[in-house]
Amino acid sequence: MQKIFECIPNFSEGRDPSIVLECVSAVKNTEGITLLNYTSDVDHNRSVITFMGDAEAIENAAIDLCRKTTALIDLRKHCGEHPRVGALDVLPIVPLKDATLEEAIELSKRIAKRLSDECGVPTYLYEDSASAPHRKNLADVRRGGFEALPEKTKDRDWLPDFGENYHKSAGVTVVGARFFLIAYNFDLKTNDLSIAKAIAKKIRQSSGGLECVKALGVMLESENKAQVTVNLTDYRKTPLYVLTEEVRRLAHEYGTEVESAELIGLIPMRALTESAAYYLGIRDFESKTRVIEEFL
């Protein structure tokens, strides 16, 4: 059984297409890698690559990518909207097919060590790979950005997990394993932002809502529409249909409706097959034993 992981590196170049392409190519040309998607943002001056493969392929692609970003990106000259601490800024690893979170954590640690040993870029572990609770949250690890690294990497609480100090032009890289995150938006049939905000507050876990749900109410100015934008960090804890029905119910309560939902990026099959079984009313459904693709 081949264990497959997904990797979604974020790197600090979104303006020079030739550099972006060289970085994407480094990943794409690694044996055993399937490139799924990449996007660049000019304002953030940042790109995201989504790819997958087995542990060995992911490891090799991560090293190759880090060699490129270290050679081509100089953070001393970088500016952009988005917080960042590294040329190769963040490298999340997600267990996909037949792989466990524990295996993703192991893989992230091997990669973090090699980035330091072989590319000279010190690394921090975050999320489920974090070496201490205060280092779990990416925003905390990244606080102060590249510019704060001379101070931060000397603070006892913030020594890198692998390597010392920081690479003078490429900074540090934050590596970690996490479960698959579904990025999902609900467009409302209203331009009343306060309703989107109220719904977001009611569903988000941090204010007593649904488990593994992060949510914000935002305004889509170009469409004059209020939106509830959601990160669902574990669809096994809160299935997509539970989230959807709750947002629909709340929208109704506030006198409006969900117009449509938007899926950002990719989604695991089971998040959908289980929602389908719910709505179709299929009894005793288990994706694992009933969906052909589970066996292929």
Q: With respect to its own copies, which residue has the nearer C-beta, 217 or 268?
A: 268
Question: Using the 8-state DSSP alphabet, how is residue 145 labeled?
Answer: T
Q: With respect to its own copies, which residue has the nearer C-beta, 125 or 243?
A: 243
Q: Within 13 Å and on the Cβ side, how many CA atoms surround 49?
A: 28
Of the residues 240, 250, 251, 256, which one makes contact with its own copies according to CB under 8 A: 240
Q: With respect to its own copies, which residue has the nearer C-beta, 23 or 277?
A: 277
Asked if residue 101 binds its own copies (CB under 8 A), the reply is no
Round to whole Å and give the CA distance between 185 and 258. 10
Asked if residue 279 binds its own copies (CB under 8 A), the reply is yes
> Is position 82 annotated as part of the catalytic site?
yes
Round to whole Å and give the CA distance between 228 and 156. 40
Q: With respect to its own copies, which residue has the nearer C-beta, 192 or 259?
A: 259
Tell me the torsion sign for CA atoms 154, 129, 264, 139.
Answer: negative
Burial code of 28-60, b = ≥16 C-beta within 10 A, e = fewer? bebeebebeebebeeebbbbbbbbbbbbebbbb
Bridge partners, residue 61, by sequence: none
Asked if residue 6 binds its own copies (CB under 8 A), the reply is yes
Asked if residue 295 binds its own copies (CB under 8 A), the reply is yes
Asked if residue 273 binds its own copies (CB under 8 A), the reply is yes
Among 44, 82, 134, 252, the one annotated catalytic: 82
- Between the CA of residue 227 and those of 103, 181, 205, 220, 244, what are the distances in Å? 36, 19, 18, 7, 13
Q: With respect to its own copies, which residue has the nearer C-beta, 79 or 296?
A: 296
- Residue 272 Cβ, how far from its own copies at the closest point, in Å? 4
Nearest to 210 by CA among 224, 200, 219, 221: 200
For residue 275, what is the enclosing H or E element? helix 269-280
Bridge partners, residue 6, by sequence: 52, 94
- Residue 68 Cβ, how far from its own copies at the closest point, in Å? 23
| Segment interacting with its own copies (CB under 8 A) among 99-107, 126-134, 190-198, 277-285 | 277-285
Q: With respect to its own copies, which residue has the nearer C-beta, 1 or 79?
A: 1
Asked if residue 293 binds its own copies (CB under 8 A), the reply is yes
Asked if residue 213 binds its own copies (CB under 8 A), the reply is no
Asked if residue 36 binds its own copies (CB under 8 A), the reply is yes
Asked if residue 100 binds its own copies (CB under 8 A), the reply is no
Asked if residue 42 binds its own copies (CB under 8 A), the reply is no
Asked if residue 241 binds its own copies (CB under 8 A), the reply is yes
- Residue 115 Cβ, how far from its own copies at the closest point, in Å? 25
Bridge partners, residue 10, by sequence: 48, 90
Q: Are 101 and 177 in contact (CB under 8 A)?
A: yes
Q: Are 71 and 99 in contact (CB under 8 A)?
A: no
**What are the catalytic residues?**
82
Residues in contact with its own copies by CB under 8 A are 4, 6, 34, 36-37, 52, 96-97, 180, 240-241, 244, 258, 260-263, 265-269, 272-273, 275-277, 279-283, 285, 289-293, 295-296
